[in-house]
Amino acid sequence: MDRKEIFQALTRLRKGLLQIILTVALVGFILFPFSKRLLHHLQKTTLKTELVAFSLPEPLLSLLKLTLYGSLFISLPMLFYQIWKAFFPLLHLERKKYFIIVFFLSLFLFYLGAFFCYFITLPFGVQFLLGYQSEKIQPMISAGKFVSFCTAFIFGFGLTFELPLILALLAYINVIRASFLTRNRRYAILFIAILSAIITPTPDIFNMSLMGGPLYILFEIGVILVKIIERRKKGGRTFSTS
């Protein structure tokens, strides 16, 4: 992998950028009429209290923001396709089936993390934070900040769930080895704990474990995938067309 190959990958991604923008815009145009219903569903699932607006434009801006994030969420197949189409040649995996496997696996892991956050972590985290209210402290949650809060964690969980795939690809291009991962497992656990504390909406152990537990399992899955790749390489088997 040299600078020329990276520049070619960026050029391919730039050519696909227009398709990504058009897809997001089209999905957003279709999604916007349902944005109020989408916000109500998000509020009902996680918050279960009324939202407020601190300015006249905030209701509209919050719906536009939610539409944008929703459009990106739905358009991820196009986004991931263009990204992998641009950078997949750097891995020198010539067979088309490997592109399909990596593409669908990346989508599966992202949506798995996003839905895990939406249905499990986020509701628990929000209710934990609301548990600190009292007669003298009543939270007033703005619609715009609520949308930003929820979407940031949903996308954050989705991206962190890509860990096994990232480890496998790094092993394939000889950036990391299984021995390095197992030897530094304690540091990986520490990093996962810190990352969980940053990503989860609350600092309590329960909600951190909802993120840290699955992330550690994903790390171990990644280690297994790295070992499989190394064994295939030692056995003389390649991932390209023979």
Reported as a single tens digit per residue, the pLDDT across 134-182 is 666 777 889 999 999 899 889 988 998 999 999 998 888 888 899 999 9
pLDDT(79) > 80? yes
Structural domain that includes position 164 = 3-129+144-234
Say what the pLDDT of residue 241 is: 42
Q: Backbone phi, then psi, for 239, in 5-degree steps?
A: -105, 10
Give the model's pLDDT for residue 107.
95
**Does residue 135 lie within any of the structural domains?**
no
Mean pLDDT score, 34-58: 89
pLDDT at residue 52 above 50?
yes
Q: For CA atoms 12, 13, 15, 19, give the dihedral sign.
A: positive
For residue 138, being part of any structural domain is answered with no
Contacts of 204 (CB under 8 A, 6+ apart): 128
Q: Averaged over 196-209, what is the pLDDT?
A: 71
13 belongs to a structural domain = yes
Residue 240 domain flag: no
* pTM for the whole structure: 0.85
Note whether 181 and 223 are within 8 A (CB).
yes
Report yes or no on 125 lying in a domain: yes
**Any domain includes 82:** yes
- The answer, yes or no, to whether residue 199 has pLDDT greater than 80, is no
Answer positive or negative: Cα dihedral of 67, 72, 74, 78: positive
Residue with tokens 């152990």: 205
- Chain centre to alpha carbon of residue 37: 24
Classify residue 201: in a domain, yes or no: yes
Looking at the predicted structure, is the pLDDT value of residue 242 above 90?
A: no
> Can you read off the two tokens belonging to residue 228?
């499989």
State yes or no: pLDDT of 237 exceeds 90.
Answer: no
- At residue 201 the predicted structure's pLDDT band, cuts being 50, 70 and 90, is low
What are the residues whose beta carbons fall under 8 Å from the beta carbon of 116, sequence distance 6 or more?
A: 157, 161, 214
Instruction: Decide if pLDDT at 123 tops 90.
Output: no
Residue 176's CB is within 10 A of a number of other CB atoms, namely 19
- Whether the CB-CB separation of 209 and 133 falls below 8 Å is answered with no
Report the first-to-last Cα separation within the chain, whole angstroms.
Answer: 21
Specify the pLDDT at position 140.
83
Q: How many helices (H) and strands (E) does the chain have?
A: 11, 0
DSSP string for residues in 85-135: HHHGGGGT--SHHHHHHHHHHHHHHHHHHHHHIIIIIHHHHHHHHHTT--S
Into how many domains does the chain fold?
1
Interior angle at CA 82, CA 219 and CA 73, nearest 5 = 65
Evaluate if residue 91 carries a pLDDT over 80: no
Residue 134 domain flag: no
